Amino acid sequence: MSSDTLGSLPTPVPAPHETVDLVVDGMTCASCVARVERVLKKIPGVSAASVNLATERARVEARAGLPVETLLAAISRAGYGARVDTPAQAASNADEAADGDRREGINLLLAAILSIPLAMPMLGALFGVHAMWPAWLQWLLATPVQFWCGARFYRAGWGALRAGAGNMDLLVALGTSAAYGLSLFQWWHASGGAMPELYFEASAIVITLVLFGKWLERRAKRQTASAIRALQQLRPSQAKLVRGGETVDVPLAEVRVGDLAIVLPGQRVPVDGVVEVGAGQVDESMLTGESMPVDKGVGSRVTGGSINGDGLLRVRVEAIGAQTALERIIRLVEDAQTAKAPIQRLVDRVAAVFVPVVIVIALLTLGGWVLAGAGWPVAIIRAVSVLVIACPCALGLATPVAIMAGTGVAARFGILIKDAEALELAHRVNWVGFDKTGTLTLGRPRVVELAALGDISRTTLLDLAVSVQRGSSHPLARAILDAAEEMAEAGVPVEYVATQVRTLPGRGVAAIVDGRSLVFGNRQALQEARIPVDGAALEAARLHQEEGQTVSWLGETGATPRVLGWFAFADTIRPSAPGTIARLHRLSVRCAMLTGDNAAAAARIADALGIDHVEAELLPGHKAARVVEARSGGAVTAMVGDGINDAPALAAADVGIALASGTDVAMHAASITLMRGDLSRVADAFDISRRTYRKIQQNLFWAFVYNIVGIPLAMSGLLTPVLAGAAMAASSVCVVANALWLRRWRPADERG
């Protein structure tokens, strides 16, 4: 795909409300997500808020002028930290994230060092060795773990209590504090120097296991965000500019539209612009998924982030900052990863009541065992097990990590998915409408037939036509030149030079070639030049016209006006179209063509591709109406198009898919943009949707079953707090690891 395509990415459209992106620190489970969303939505002027646990981001739609400090203060009152997420602060945020990783690692290491000795008697018991550390030593080892390494659980749990809600941290804090407090109580009331039954090891090991699980989870979440980081790393930090006749290196932030940039071989192109001097090959694979380098020359568009291959380029800057193609791609991927899939909204509603219900179950467990005569120590420990096993971490991560992984790997191969809802819906699509021109076809006519009449040869006919058309920008002229280039490769020269070339608006071109006065154009041009056409030629041309092809004539005026020959032109079917339609049929997807072109041309393309249903000569509103009719009939619809006239239908479909080679309007209306001019990516988009949705289902199944099975086991006393903590940590890691399998996905044409 060329960077002309990249340059036509949609530019942001001003919204009636401002969108504010925030980084939220301290969220640990789905209950946290629900609480942050709730406090944000209560703020006057906030119309919508979406919080993503996996990305630790909040996107807020608010009226213009609402102070950001109001949003930050509300999140702070809920017990979480927050800061504005802007490109300018990306480096600072990355540094803070790195510092957070180091602190977590140190906490985990300290907790492990102190907890391992506490776990040794438990391990010894498995081999018949029964020995216990003195109570004072257990207390000495467990206390720093409880109140230093585990301080984060107290801080976040207290924040949740102040906000009148609960979260995972509250459950961990309550459970481990109960075990630690019970140990102190037992130690205090021990009589005669007897060794009391202590649970210091349970509280310390649970905290260590939870910290270990969160550390693994954080590392795994960073892998799901690798697509964003890979795109961000494409941003060069500096550009080499020509200023005042000298070459200077300047920070990218100081580059201005109109500057002249120099790109050396092997360097990343720093800006979006047009090549003014030079030629070479540019690698755009990270932006488009196109593996082959693209030839660039004077007048070609290049995109910031791509890699210049073997030539020195001088590029005139046309876009900077947020208007560059790379920044818009990053924004689209971030939007998709921040958005909330419909199924996640149900999970969030469940999570909002989950923690209070778990606390009630723990209290019932406590009371039940006391009434059963087991005694307070046993009852407390079993209630602790319930609190620990029920932490809803996996529930909150199940959907967003899969969405992040799916949209990230899709972006790597040139499929930009704007929102999570489109990713969730695409796997159910069973009806696809295609525009014809520019979508199923290349939108570029080619010569499919030429006929020389009288004593003129086909070679001479083509040479004369090329001479007349050389220098014209008309699509049919381009087709004539392409045909000549194909013949030239076979050794056919083009020898003539045209003079006195003049355009006949709406009809054709006239010129003098090799002393002959020629007219190239439609029938009207011939009639005006009084050039007769015999019936046999008219009949042959009519047959092509009935197939939806365009016929142009080459005639000679002078003493004896005559037709030298005719050319039939047809649009070229996109090379990837036949395989795409066949693949969709194998997926039981019905394919329709909705086009404004004439019926004959539409029928020819549809027959060649095996399209199920064709409707031609449609206005834009009619296309949208056909999509609505299909939806009303129970179909889950997708529309694929590239033009302004496709925008209503793209918006009307359940999933709108635009080709990036098309117009900005089409891409604004679509929910998926294909960065390469390759229709096979339509079926690939459905495939990655199906795989992502399957991962979401698997993750939610695991998260719910884990709690459904684990809570009764803990209530019955079959799970100790230590085992419950290990299971809880493992559940989160398993959910994230399962989603990470999506990163192995490849499009059908790249699988081994």
Which pLDDT score, from 0 to 100, does residue 611 have? Answer: 93
Which pLDDT score, from 0 to 100, does residue 349 have? Answer: 67
Which pLDDT score, from 0 to 100, does residue 593 have? Answer: 92
The answer, yes or no, to whether residue 431 has pLDDT greater than 90, is: yes
Which pLDDT score, from 0 to 100, does residue 617 have? Answer: 80
Q: Which position has the higher pLDDT, 695 or 720?
A: 695
Quick count: other Cβ atoms within 10 Å of Cβ 273? Answer: 30
The answer, yes or no, to whether residue 226 has pLDDT greater than 80, is: no
Q: 80-89, 98-107, 148-157, 506-515 — which is least confidently predicted?
A: 80-89
In sequence order, what are the residues at sequence separation of 6 or more whose Cβ sits closer than 8 angstroms to the Cβ of residue 524? Answer: 506, 507
Q: 115-119, 330-334, 554-558 — which is least confidently predicted?
A: 330-334
Categorize the per-residue pLDDT at 3 as very low, low, confident or very high, splitting at 50, 70 and 90.
very low
Categorize the per-residue pLDDT at 12 as very low, low, confident or very high, splitting at 50, 70 and 90.
very low
Host H or E run for residue 475:
helix 475-489
Question: In the 3-class helix/strand/coil scheme, how is 12-51 assigned residue by residue?
Answer: CCCCCEEEEEEEEECCCCHHHHHHHHHHHHCCCCEEEEEE
| pLDDT tens sequence across 227-244 | 556 666 777 778 888 887
Read off the pLDDT of each residue in 647-659 and give the average, rounded to a whole number: 84
Where does residue 385 rank: exposed (0-12), middle (13-18), buried (19+ CB within 10 A)?
Answer: buried
The answer, yes or no, to whether residue 590 has pLDDT greater than 90, is: yes
C-alpha of 709 from chain center: 35
625 vs 542: CA distance, rounded Å: 33
In sequence order, what are the residues at sequence separation of 6 or more whose Cβ sits closer than 8 angstroms to the Cβ of residue 578? Answer: 608, 609, 610
Per the listing, tokens 């778990």 go with: 358
Average pLDDT of the chain to the nearest whole number: 79
Helical pair 599-609 and 577-586, crossing angle rounded to 10 deg = 60
Give the sign of the dihedral formed by CA 313, CA 319, CA 320, CA 325. Answer: negative
Which pLDDT score, from 0 to 100, does residue 13 have? Answer: 45
Read off the pLDDT of each residue in 442-455 and give the average, rounded to a whole number: 85
Q: Taking phi first (over 0 means left), then psi (-120 to 50 degrees means alpha), and beta for anything else, what does residue 339 get? A: beta
C-alpha count within 13 angstroms, C-beta hemisphere, residue 493: 3
Where does residue 369 rank: exposed (0-12), middle (13-18), buried (19+ CB within 10 A)?
Answer: buried
Q: What token pair was written down for 254? A: 């100081």
Which pLDDT score, from 0 to 100, does residue 418 have? Answer: 77
CA angle 430, 692, 233 (to 5 degrees): 120
Host H or E run for residue 370:
helix 342-371
The answer, yes or no, to whether residue 522 has pLDDT greater than 90, is: no
Enter the pTM of the model. 0.65
Helices assigned H by DSSP within 599-679: 599-609, 620-632, 647-652, 664-669
Q: What token pair was written down for 79? A: 């017990």
Quick count: other Cβ atoms within 10 Å of Cβ 12? Answer: 12
C-alpha count within 13 angstroms, C-beta hemisphere, residue 302: 39
Categorize the per-residue pLDDT at 248 as very low, low, confident or very high, splitting at 50, 70 and 90.
confident
355 vs 167: CA distance, rounded Å: 6
| pLDDT tens sequence across 320-336 | 777 777 777 666 666 65
Instruction: Say whether 435 is catalytic.
Output: yes
Q: 169-173, 243-247, 249-253, 537-541 — which is least confidently predicted?
A: 169-173
Q: How does 227-247 read in b/e, with b if 16+ C-beta sit within 10 Å? A: bbeebbebbbeebbbeeeeee
Residues written for the chain: 752
Task: Specify whether the CB–CB gap between 671 and 685 falls below 8 A.
Answer: no
The answer, yes or no, to whether residue 57 has pLDDT greater than 90, is: no
Q: Report which DSSP code applies to 269.
A: P
Instruction: Please name which of 583, 666, 561, 675 lies closest in space to residue 620, comparing C-alpha atoms.
Output: 666
Helical pair 151-162 and 168-188, crossing angle rounded to 10 deg = 120
Categorize the per-residue pLDDT at 663 as very low, low, confident or very high, splitting at 50, 70 and 90.
low
Which pLDDT score, from 0 to 100, does residue 333 have? Answer: 61
What are the φ and ψ backbone dihedral angles of 569, each rounded to 5 degrees? Answer: -115, 140
Instruction: Please name which of 198, 146, 212 lies closest in space to residue 173, comparing C-alpha atoms.
Output: 146
Categorize the per-residue pLDDT at 1 as very low, low, confident or very high, splitting at 50, 70 and 90.
very low
Per the listing, tokens 């039940």 go with: 368
Question: Which of the residues 169, 435, 646, 654 is marked catalytic?
Answer: 435
Q: Which position has the higher pLDDT, 598 or 483?
A: 483
Where does residue 134 rank: exposed (0-12), middle (13-18), buried (19+ CB within 10 A)?
Answer: exposed
Which pLDDT score, from 0 to 100, does residue 6 have? Answer: 47
Q: What token pair was written down for 137? A: 């030593």
Quick count: other Cβ atoms within 10 Å of Cβ 399? Answer: 34
Read off the pLDDT of each residue in 402-430 and give the average, rounded to a whole number: 83
Read off the pLDDT of each residue in 301-317 and give the average, rounded to a whole number: 84
CA angle 729, 735, 740 (to 5 degrees): 125
What are the φ and ψ backbone dihedral angles of 723, each rounded to 5 degrees? Answer: -65, -40
Domains, the chain, ranges and CATH? 18-93 (3.30.70.100), 97-227+333-406+692-744 (no CATH), 237-323 (2.70.150.10), 414-441+573-690 (3.40.50.1000), 443-572 (3.40.1110.10)
Per the listing, tokens 């932030």 go with: 253
Q: How does 40-53 read in b/e, with b if 16+ C-beta sit within 10 Å? A: beeeebbeebbbbb
